[in-house]
Amino acid sequence: MDIPFEIQFDLTTFMQVIFIDLVLSGDNAIIIGMAAASLPPALRQKAIVWGIALAVILRIVLAALTVYLLSITGLKLVGGLLLFVVCYQLWKDLRSDGEEEAGSNDTVEDADAEGAEEAGLMSPMFLRAMATIIVADVSMSLDNVLAVAGAAKDNIQMLVFGLVLSIVLMAVGANVVARLLNRYQWIGYIGLAVIVWVAGKMTYIGTLEVYDYLRA
């Protein structure tokens, strides 16, 4: 039996939205998880929850402004450049963590215990992690909403589905990444490479858009 064209289109759109969310929400989860992994256990979960909550708010706001955002030339270029800033901060954090692990285990354990007890929401390490998450959320939420909106076109149901799916994927992914990084620090460099690739892709596409606009 032949499948009606409209159903085929919806199924194609559905698969596109899922693929986009798997890639981009996964990247967002990696960033949140990496930033949170550098914090003491007492603050790690708070950073993840706040980071995901902020990403959710940004996605809702950006989804409401989708038509306007799609008309702005160079927006992806700015988002890509912001992600490179995030990559640099995450790289610094990874190097810092590596240097700490090079010290004696007793010293590190004492420092972690002290950090877990004394670090607060206004501590420099927490604020630095949140700043990294905020910049990443702005860039990745922008990229996610633009990509999903491009696939969903005028299908509001698909746009809402993409938003909900991205939230679920971030919530699960960020916690998994944070736990893995806490055990295997080298995984952070794989995550960093993924984010650098995404930043490079956004910058490249954004540059082409600006170039085509200036040529027109």
* Overall average pLDDT of the 177-197 stretch: 78
How does DSSP classify residue 38? T
pLDDT bin (cut points 50, 70, 90) of residue 98 is: low
Would you place residue 4 in the very low, low, confident or very high pLDDT band (cuts 50, 70, 90)?
very low
Across 77-81, 88-92, 118-122, 188-192, least confident range = 118-122
Residue with the bigger pLDDT between 19 and 126: it is 126
**pLDDT by residue (tens digit) across 67-83?**
677 678 888 888 888 88
Res 70: pLDDT: 66
Report the range of poorest mean pLDDT among 27-36, 97-106, 201-210.
Answer: 97-106
From first CA to last CA, the distance across the chain in angstroms is: 47
- 150's CB contacts (< 8 A; 6+ apart) are 70
Can you tell me the distance from the alpha carbon of 216 to that of 210, in angstroms, rounded to the nearest whole number? 10
pLDDT mean over 140-163: 74
User: pLDDT-based confidence at 101, cuts 50/70/90?
Assistant: low
Average pLDDT for 145-163? 73
Q: Can you tell me the mean pLDDT for 135-154?
A: 74
The span from the CA of 191 to the CA of 34, in Å, is 8
Residue of 179, 176, 166 lying closest to 137 (CA atoms): 166
Give the number of other Cβ atoms within 10 Å of residue 1's Cβ.
3
| 57 pLDDT above the threshold of 50 | yes
Give me the pLDDT at residue 207, please: 92
